[in-house]
Amino acid sequence: MSEWIKISDFDFSDRKALIYNGVQLLLGYADNEIYCVENICSHEKARLSDGEYENGDIYCPKHGACFDIITGIPKTLPATDPLKVYEIKKLPDGVYILWNS
Ligand code: FES
């Protein structure tokens, strides 16, 4: 079953790490829209929110792979597998994620 779950207020300027239902998530802005991916690198499981972030480009703190937050696809090695991408929507009271349970 899928349902929309509120996971955040608009209390961040570029990105925000959070945990929902035991899953580490990373919300981030790219060109003024918000996107959401799993916050764990697909290469060797580093926490991506510990690295740099620039307008949708997520840089892994461990080996430097860069991921696109919109697609989850790595732009650079050593990562080759994409991140899981979550569908989100903005409502007046905050950010909602489409959660599959
Ligand atoms: S753990 Fe992220 S690039 Fe290696």
Is residue 101's pLDDT more than 90? Answer: no
pLDDT digits (tens, 9 = 90+) for 45-97: 999 999 999 999 999 999 999 999 999 999 999 999 999 999 999 999 999 99
Q: Ligand 1 pocket, 63 CB below 6 A?
A: yes
Range of the domain at 43: 2-100
Alpha helices per DSSP H over 8-83: none
Domain at 87, CATH number? 2.102.10.10
Number of compact structural domains in the chain: 1
Q: Ligand 1 pocket, 40 CB below 6 A?
A: no
Top mutation candidate among 44, 48, 52, 59 for ligand 1, by most atoms within 8 Å of CB? 44
Q: Whose CA is nearest to atom 1 of ligand 1?
A: 44
Q: Which atom of ligand 1 is nearest to the CA of 46?
A: 1
User: What mean pLDDT do residues 37-45 have?
Assistant: 98
Is residue 26's pLDDT more than 90? Answer: yes
Is residue 36 within 8 A of residue 94, CB to CB? The reply is: no
Q: Ligand 1 pocket, 78 CB below 6 A?
A: yes
Collect all residues with Cβ–Cβ distance below 8 Å to 88 and sequence separation of at least 6: 27, 34, 35, 36, 95, 96, 97, 98
pLDDT confidence of residue 46: 98
pLDDT confidence of residue 93: 98
pTM for the predicted model, two decimal places: 0.96
